């Protein structure tokens, strides 16, 4: 059983040595210690943000207390105690198929100071995280990315996608269902609890999802210190006819020159059920003085397309969102349930070694997988990133094969397509 607290696991010796060879020190940072303000200052600089205020530092300390914080220090520099690179990680839970979750080594706050870029620091930090996670028994690592060009080299690959949606409300007459429940404005202060309650019910049904956490919800609610637009944040909750709260919409309205065509910007729209979904989208689209509704992190084919008179009033721009890295092939593949039987040998190429080799993947009639090492010639070959992309069923083997990212006979690729078909399209609806 993998440990759930990771901050006490030792630093990876290989990365410590690699960094030491270039005069740098790899060290854990205590969220409650004196080094935390410099750690956070380096993180915000890496993401081009402002220097954090004392209040923001204390808020972040609370939020990051459960994480493993690691810094890289250049002790010969002008600020020897301020890290020149940062990374943090924690244990989360990935939904792999409806109702089934598996531990996920989650990574964030990856920054390298521009003064120290392209010297292999990110490589040392990322490979260090992966070795630490694998040694502790985690089958999967994950992250969300600012650029799609960085993480493939370490075996990460997109496994869940999300759309940015924009709706021209003047073309989008509501044709969807009429929800029987009611909508009410709810106070901002109540949102962290409300968002968490609805999201906890949703995320276990949706492959690709992970749980949120208090400061994520506080951020959406505009309740973190100096949050921009905080006072413009509004929220409505949907209750079903039995009085159970089933959905929540958090939004701001950005004013545009034309006073009847402002933009309603969705900060969160979480719906537990079709009625709540319809009620909240209808509220957004029919809001007076609004000409456009925008929402991030929506399903690849957003359901609102089917709820309006003119489907082309809805545009959805797809992007990769949740990147996964397979560290343990049997552990990762056995975590989910499948749509069909399979018996094939997968040959995985993994330059970092974790998943490398041939694996017999057997999926039984109940949809459960068992995987074991095998010495025979593989039926299909792929780089480790392709395995991560196939895992949740968000892309098919035949599609990856067309790009040369999986190789095998058409019948084998078709069999994988059938078995890996997801019960629901993978989606990650938050950033982490
Ligand atoms: C992205 C970042 C962490 C890379 O750090 P780094 O220490 O310069 O990376 P490394 O020296 O280990 O480089 C590793 C490889 O990645 C490549 N690489 C690094 N950053 C890249 C980028 N932004 N785009 C494309 N390639 C990149 C390097 O060229 C190098 O390639 P190679 O293995 O073929 O030689 C750093 O540029 C950064 O802090 N950026 C701003 C914050 C950010 O975007 N963080 C990522 C959040 S998801």
| 304 and 333 housed in the same domain | no
Atom number, ligand 1, closest to the C-alpha of residue 123: 12
Q: Quick check: is 163 in a domain? A: no
pLDDT at 207: 98
Q: Quick check: is 319 in a domain? A: no
| 34 and 115 housed in the same domain | yes
| 251 and 304 housed in the same domain | yes
Does ligand 1 have an atom closer than 6 angstroms to the CB of 122? yes
Does ligand 1 have an atom closer than 6 angstroms to the CB of 142? no
Distances (CA, A) of 353 to 18, 40, 48, 244, 422: 18, 33, 34, 49, 28
Number of domains in the chain: 3
Closest alpha carbon to 322 in 182, 145, 199 = 145
Place of tokens 């990212």: 405
Q: Quick check: is 427 in a domain? A: no
Closest alpha carbon to 159 in 19, 333, 340 = 333
Query: What share of residues in the chain are helix, strand, coil (percent, to 5)?
Result: 30, 30, 40
The CA 152 to ligand 1 mean position distance, Å, reads: 11
pLDDT at 3: 72
The CA 268 to ligand 1 mean position distance, Å, reads: 30
Flag whether 146 is marked binding.
Answer: yes
Tokens at 9, concatenated: 């696991």
Q: Quick check: is 343 in a domain? A: yes
Does ligand 1 have an atom closer than 6 angstroms to the CB of 231? no
The CA 270 to ligand 1 mean position distance, Å, reads: 34
What does the CA dihedral 198, 200, 202, 204 come to, rounded to 10 degrees? -170
Atom number, ligand 1, closest to the C-alpha of residue 113: 39
Mean pLDDT by 10-residue block, N- to C-terminus, for the chain (432 residues)?
81 98 97 97 96 95 95 97 97 97 98 96 98 98 95 98 97 97 98 98 98 96 91 98 98 93 97 98 97 97 97 97 98 98 98 98 98 96 98 98 98 98 97 96
Flag whether 112 is marked binding.
Answer: yes
The verdict on whether 259 is a catalytic residue reads no
Q: Is the dihedral of CA 21, 22, 24, 26 positive or negative?
A: negative
State how beta strands 245-254 and 262-271 pair: antiparallel
Flag whether 120 is marked binding.
Answer: yes
Does ligand 1 have an atom closer than 6 angstroms to the CB of 113? no
| 130 and 183 housed in the same domain | no
What is d(CA 79, CA 332) in angstroms, rounded to the nearest whole number?
Answer: 42
Does ligand 1 have an atom closer than 6 angstroms to the CB of 111? yes
Q: Residue 410 sits in a domain of what CATH number?
A: 3.30.1050.10
pLDDT at 272: 97
Closest alpha carbon to 297 in 214, 206, 234 = 206
pLDDT at 1: 63
Name which residue sits closest to atom 30 of ligand 1, judged by CA.
118
| 218 and 277 housed in the same domain | yes
Pocket test for ligand 1, best of 43, 71, 118 (most atoms within 8 A of CB): 118
Residue environment code for 85-98, b if the CB has 16+ CB neighbours within 10 A, otherwise e: bbbbbbbbebbbbe
Does ligand 1 have an atom closer than 6 angstroms to the CB of 46? yes
Q: Quick check: is 1 in a domain? A: no
| 178 and 81 housed in the same domain | no
The verdict on whether 432 is a catalytic residue reads yes
Q: Residue 82 sits in a domain of what CATH number?
A: 3.40.630.30
Domain stop point among 309, 343, 360 = 309
What are the φ and ψ backbone dihedral angles of 24, each rounded to 5 degrees? Answer: -110, 155
Q: Quick check: is 162 in a domain? A: no
CA angle 202, 206, 208 (to 5 degrees): 125
Q: From the CB of residue 3, how many other CB atoms can be counted at a distance below 10 Å?
A: 12
| 130 and 47 housed in the same domain | yes
What is d(CA 167, CA 287) in angstroms, rounded to the nearest whole number?
Answer: 12
Which H or E run contains 93? strand 85-97
Centroid of chain to Cα 420: 20
In 272-417, beta strands by DSSP E: 290-298, 314-326, 342-349, 357-363, 369-373, 380-383, 407-408
Catalytic residue, from 26, 138, 238, 432: name it: 432
Does ligand 1 have an atom closer than 6 angstroms to the CB of 120? yes
Q: Quick check: is 65 in a domain? A: yes
Name which residue sits closest to atom 23 of ligand 1, judged by CA.
150
Domain stop point among 309, 338, 365 = 309
| 120 and 39 housed in the same domain | yes
Flag whether 119 is marked binding.
Answer: yes
Does ligand 1 have an atom closer than 6 angstroms to the CB of 121? yes
List, in sequence order, every residue forming a beta bridge with 251; answer none if it has no partner. 234, 266
Catalytic residue, from 151, 238, 251, 338: name it: 151
What is d(CA 53, CA 340) in angstroms, rounded to the nearest whole number?
Answer: 54
* Residues of the domain holding 289: 172-309
């Amino acid at each position: 059983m993998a440990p759930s607290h990771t901050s006490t696991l030792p630093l990876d010796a290989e990365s410590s040595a690699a960094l030491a060879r270039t005069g740098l020190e790899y060290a854990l940072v205590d969220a409650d210690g004196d080094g935390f303000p410099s750690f956070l200052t380096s993180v915000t600089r890496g993401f081009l943000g402002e220097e954090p205020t004392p209040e923001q530092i204390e808020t972040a300390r609370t939020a990051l207390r459960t994480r493993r914080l690691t810094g890289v220090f250049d002790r010969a520099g002008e600020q020897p105690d301020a890290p020149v690179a940062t990374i943090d990680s924690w244990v989360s839970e990935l939904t792999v198929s409806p109702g089934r979750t598996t531990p996920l080594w989650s990574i964030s706050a990856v920054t390298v100071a521009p003064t120290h870029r392209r010297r292999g620091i990110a490589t040392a930090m990322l490979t260090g995280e992966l070795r630490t996670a694998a040694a502790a028994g985690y089958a999967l690592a994950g992250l969300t990315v600012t650029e799609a060009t960085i993480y493939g080299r370490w075996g990460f690959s997109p496994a869940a996608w999300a759309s940015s949606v924009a709706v021209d409300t003047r073309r989008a007459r509501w044709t969807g269902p009429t929800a029987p429940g009611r909508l009410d404005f709810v106070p901002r202060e109540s949102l962290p609890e409300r968002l968490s309650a609805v999201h906890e019910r949703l995320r276990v049904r949706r492959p690709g999802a992970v749980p949120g956490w208090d400061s994520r919800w506080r951020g959406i609610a505009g309740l973190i210190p100096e949050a921009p637009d905080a006072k413009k944040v509004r929220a409505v909750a949907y209750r079903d006819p039995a009085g159970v709260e089933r959905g929540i919409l958090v939004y701001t309205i950005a004013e545009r020159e034309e006073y009847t065509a402002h933009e309603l910007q969705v900060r969160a729209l979480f719906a537990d059920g079709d009625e709540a979904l319809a009620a909240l989208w209808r509220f957004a689209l029919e809001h007076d003085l609004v000409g456009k509704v925008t929402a991030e992190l929506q399903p690849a084919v957003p359901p609102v397309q089917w709820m309006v008179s003119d489907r082309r009033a809805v545009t959805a721009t797809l992007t990769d969102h949740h990147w996964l890295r397979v560290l343990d092939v049997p552990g990762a593949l056995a975590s989910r349930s499948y749509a069909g039987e399979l018996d094939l040998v997968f040959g995985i190429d993994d330059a970092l070694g974790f998943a490398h080799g041939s694996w017999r993947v057997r999926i039984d009639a109940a949809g459960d997988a068992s995987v074991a090492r095998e010495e025979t010639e593989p039926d299909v070959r792929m780089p480790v990133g392709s395995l991560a992309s196939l895992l949740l069923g968000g892309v098919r083997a035949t599609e990856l094969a067309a790009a040369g990212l999986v190789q095998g006979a058409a019948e084998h690729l078709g069999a994988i397509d059938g078995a890996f078909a997801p019960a629901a399209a993978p989606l990650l609806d938050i950033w982490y």
